[in-house]
A = this chain, B = another copy of it.
Amino acid sequence: MLIGELARRTGTTTRALRFYEAQGLLRAQRSANGYREYDEDDLRLVTEIQALQTVGFTLDDTRPFVACLRAGHESGDSCVDSIEVYRRKLAEVDAFLGRLGAVRAELHGKLAEALTRQDESGHADPCVVAPSPSEEH
């Protein structure tokens, strides 16, 4: 199939697919006129990349999974490098969850505090906010 069809079937764009190729994630056969030719295995690669991206993987993180599929495994996470990326990502997510939880608590406290002061003083003043540079005429 050509690049347009692969893009449609994977719900992405031709630009993204060419970008994946430039990153070394995707390789395509070329037909006589120079058009990229893809098969079902390539489609599988793209869907794997997309699935991983939705869980916050960078394109670089997806390399071992792509390599694993290309090596003939039926799933992208059958190789040690992929599993290692899983572990690293899980650790990253946990760290992020921790920081975000702390941020949430602090934000919640600040809001409650501000509302308390507002009740005490009986008012909340409006302020004239400086415009962002793009909004200046």
The residues of A with any CB-CB pair to B shorter than 8 Å are: 22-25, 55-56, 60, 63-64, 66-68, 70-71, 73, 75, 77-83, 86-87, 89-90, 93-94, 96-97, 100-101, 103-104, 106-108, 110-111, 113-115, 117-118, 124-133, 136
Q: Is the interface of A mostly helix, strand, loop or mixed?
A: helix
- 22 A-B pairs (CB sep. < 8 Å): A22-B133, A63-B132, A64-B129, A67-B127, A70-B127, A71-B127, A75-B114, A77-B114, A78-B125, A80-B124, A81-B126, A82-B114, A82-B127, A83-B111, A83-B115, A86-B111, A86-B114, A87-B111, A90-B111, A93-B103, A96-B100, A97-B101
**What is the total number of copies of this protein in its complex?**
2
Distance of A7 from chain B, by nearest CB (Å): 21
- Chain B contacts for A125, CB-based, 8 A: 68, 71, 73, 78-80
Q: Is the CB of A110 within 8 A of B64?
A: no
A101 to chain B, nearest CB (A): 7
Q: Which chain B positions have C-beta within 8 A of A93? A: 100, 103-104, 107
A114 CB, min distance to chain B CBs, angstroms? 4
